[in-house]
Every structure is written in C-alpha cells, then in structure tokens.
Amino acid sequence: VLSFIIFICYIASLAAPFMMAPLLEFLLALFLFFAYASKLNEKFKGLYWPLTDFLRCVTAAIIYFAISIAAVSRYNDGASKAGGVFGFIATIVYAIDFYITFNDLVTFLKQGSSDAPEERKSE
C-alpha cells in the first residue's frame, strides 16, 4: 500500500521520473503476496523463496532511500516532498522486513544444510 501511495505522489509531482521504482516495487510485492497466498512456494521448490523476499527487501530499502533523498532535496513541490517522506517511511518498513526476512532466511539455510549430511550418511 505504501508503494502505491508513493507512486501516486510521484505521478502528481514534478518528480515524475521517480515513479517507476515504486510501481515496480508495488507490482513485485503484489506478485509475491499472491505467490505466498496461492502456495506457489510449495509447488516450485527449485526457487529459494526466502532469498527472493530477502533480496526484494534489501533492494527496495536502498532504492527508496536514494530516491527519497533526491525527491526531497531536488524538487520543491508538496507532492514530491510527500513522496519523499513516504519513501523514508517505506525505507524503515523495508528495513524491518529485511531484518525479519533475514532471520527466516538464516533458519531456512540452516535447515537445508542440516539435511544434507544425513542424506550423505544414508547413501
């Protein structure tokens, strides 16, 4: 939702070149939401879903931080400033999600690495 609000702010402002990043992040988050809701992560075992979510959070936090600084410092209209402020809020939200996802990723990788030696012993 926050990505969509930032997208609307950038469309209504002079900082229209920044509108692509929130749009892509919104669509990617929507795709991952539906993928988890429809249990695609259980059907496609070859894709490391926690790693995908982790990389999405890291890149989103970095990109939102960078474009928020640029929007707040370069443009003077209210919609650009609002988009920048919402971008800083999104940076914090994605950083928190990054931390939570990182813990899940570490647990996922430890679980995968502990299964491998047992399989080798049985062979």
Distance CA 87, CA 63 (A): 9
CB within 8 A of 28, min separation 6: which ones? 56
Residue 103 in tokens: 């813990």
Give the tokens for residue 86.
């919402």
The domain total for the chain is 1
| Structure tokens given for 13 | 């402002």
pLDDT digits (tens, 9 = 90+) for 82-99: 999 999 999 999 999 989
Percent of the chain at pLDDT exceeding 90: 36
Domain of residue 75 covers: 19-36+46-111
Q: Is 61 among the domain residues?
A: yes
Q: Is residue 4 a part of any domain in this protein?
A: no
What is the model's pLDDT at position 120?
45
